Structure 1
């Protein structure tokens, strides 16, 4: 059906409503003839709006809110609960607009009321569209709410796409609503036409002024499509563990392990390399490094490590190894690897492995503990030690012992032009690591 035929069908309906309302308005004006005509017309308009609001409330609360059903009925009730205010306002505005010609308003007052009703209708339509977008997106995300967000990549993928696209849609709806509001004013409409005539310069100025906003906005759309990060992803950001807590149209909220939040521009994740530990799967392989002595029995240690790992509930059962990965001049290094379902469980698994294997080595395998060795060579052991010439005399009473000498305890040696011979220094005992 074309727009012209639809308009022709609605015009007789409006004329019929106005014809039926005219006698009622006339009787109401006669009853309030002692008031100014303009005030009476506004009161009639307000009364019509109240009647429309009561009717819409009756329909929403008494009929739609009582629709039975666990799925579809619940969606209808939730949608009605969210949209009942915009719907009531829309019904009131439409009723007042239809009844406006029959209220007896004339001149500038009629134009002002009509303009206010038009602006209100545009605003309510924008609000209704915005709420509809939120209700539909939330209803779509409910099906993924019960999934395990740590391991279900599909749920996090849909959550990221829906939330980002909803943010973009909300911004576009707000911009279009404000634009439609401004177009209702004649001076603004003429200014818009003049800007459209000089679209080249205007678009250049607007593009330069809104470059940061547009960059982040397009980056958000690109992230929603390509998804280098998703809601709930674990990423390494500046040497710290962080989880993607929220993705908006302009920035990303990262939550660290100590509950600190970092606000990062969304364009950062398109321009800067970063680590995403849950891109394809949340499962990780953790590594534990143990420094043990060269005499450590690897067979017993490996068997005990396998027993410890198999007893840990965080282990997935897919990967385990215990190997001598490196050695230094004092110890050898054992690397233990074990798989866990998430990064947090991998951290707990590694901590438990360290705690139990260290306790076991202290109790049952002390020879595996690292130690430092020092040994003297044969020549250094045979070297005689010099005699000690300094003898401390016995002390009497509470007075401290003082060294004996020809000049007494407070005497000074005579000044000589020749330096006094220095006693030979005892040879230093040299040590070398074994």
Structure 2
């Protein structure tokens, strides 16, 4: 008898798609209170209704169904993942690995939703209760699918970045550009996934669908109001997409923004985070990098030239300074200097001193800064040791002949000096 009722129940699940009528026997199974053999076979105390529309045996059946579906879904997931792992090892592509890894977890909840929805038909639930079970199952399936998409996008972005880093080698610019595109596109897909999942969850309710129909009916006015209200947000979002395509800045670039020197640490859909050299964070709107000028020190390559300017006396031996710079770069600065550029030039002069510019190169801006400080310190110490290294203030006085007073000496009065000549006073002689 129980087997007959189970067969009739399975046929009822297929009846909407086949179009066949099952007759009175099926009605007796669907309505156990109307003389169903299933109802008559159960003990009387299981037919009571302690909570709501469901009888006690139906409540117990739901609990057992959830437990059995959870255990079965986990077992099926383990078997499926084991078979999938064996299949993945046979391929050389890495995309199937990411999909396989993203399916751990979402697959179990998807199977749980399917088995829960199908198994609830055996319990012959009333239409309101069956609708609630189906609603919960659909919601769980939507959440599982959204979870799978988010995990797959995250793992795929990480896999693609590692692959490009491995293939590109020392091409830092390409790696930074791809990382920026992946970050922005990943955030866009994640935002779209969240919006779509929440929309599908809410559209299951009749009240929300009615509100949606009302909004669509007045789409013109609603679109105008929302467009005006969200104009700034939409433009910022579009600016984020444009920045990911044109890439005026990339994650890791060295920039000067608002007179602050730092690195691009994070790029979102609406703003960019600049890590300043003193560990402060400068949050800049996305539109700033499209509307205003800024400095990007690593747009093409992270390699950079650094300069050190010093003031030296006119009698300074410039050739010796060049030799000292080479010594500094090959000794104290060997870990900072990349070995590509170095030199000393006289770039300017004034009435007191001349300006020496030392040029050095480094692999990135951080090393260039440290190297410039080191070279500046060592060259100043070198000039301090030179007889005529640091600038010296010189002055020369010239007096007319009539203003010169003769000086008395034991040998007689001293003659007046000519203009522009120095007057030498013998030792031990004082002016009279």
Match of 2:389 in 1: 368
C-alpha contact 1:64 1:77 (8 A) present in aligned 2: no
Asked if 1:343 is matched to 2:359, the reply is no
Task: Indicate if the aligned counterparts of 1:161 and 1:224 stay in contact, CA closer than 8 A.
Answer: yes
CA distance in 2, matches of 1:50, 1:305: 77
Q: Per-residue deviation at 1:328?
A: 1.6
Structure 1 residue 329, shift from structure 2 partner: 1.7
Change (3 A) 1:95 1:28: farther
- 46-55 or 142-151: which moved more? 142-151
Report the counterpart of residue 323 of structure 1 in structure 2.
345
Deviations 1:11-56 (A, max 9, x none): 68xxxxxx9x99xx95998367265343432432332232232223
When normalised by structure 1's length, the TM-score is 0.75
Q: Which residue of 2 aligns with 1:49?
A: 66
Instruction: Quote the RMSD (CA, aligned, Å).
Output: 3.6
Q: Which residue of 2 aligns with 1:64?
A: 81
1:85 deviation in Å?
A: 2.6
Of 347, 352, 355, the residue aligned with 2:374 is 352
Structure 1: tracts of 5 or more residues without a match:
1-6, 13-18, 385-434
3-state SS of the aligned residue for 1:258?
coil
Q: Does the 8 Å CA contact 1:288/1:354 hold for their aligned counterparts?
A: yes
CA apart distance, 1:281: 0.4
- Indicate conservation of the 8 Å contact 1:282/1:342, yes or no: yes
The correspondence for 2:240, drawn from 220, 232, 247, is 220
Q: Could you tell which deviates more after superposition, 74-83 or 236-245?
A: 74-83
Give a deviation string over 1:399-420, Cα, whole Å, max 9, x none. Answer: xxxxxxxxxxxxxxxxxxxxxx
Instruction: Decide whether the 8 Å contact of 2:215 with 2:222 is kept in 1.
Output: yes
CA shift in 2, pair 1:373/1:42, >3 Å: farther
SS class of match (1:319): strand
Distance (whole Å) between structure 1 residues aligned to residue 253 and residue 48 of structure 2? 68
Describe the shift of the 1:74–1:232 C-alpha distance in structure 2 as closer, same or farther (beyond 3 A): same
How many residue pairs match? The answer is 369
How far residue 149 of structure 1 moved from its aligned partner, in angstroms, is 10
Q: CA deviation at 1:343?
A: 0.6
1:270 paired residue number: 290
CA distance in 2, matches of 1:127, 1:258: 38
TM-score (norm 2): 0.75
| Residue range with higher mean Cα deviation, 268-277 or 187-196 | 187-196
Q: Quick one: which of 11, 30, 47 aligns to 2:42?
A: 30
- SS in structure 2 of the partner of residue 113 of structure 1: helix
In structure 2, list runs of 5 or more residues that go unmatched: 1-12, 19-25, 31-36, 406-432
Other-structure match for 2:220: 200
Q: Show the counterpart of 2:249.
A: 229
Q: What's the secondary structure of 1:326's corresponding residue?
A: strand
When residues 115 and 87 of structure 1 are mapped into structure 2, their CA distance, relative to the original with a 3 A threshold, is same
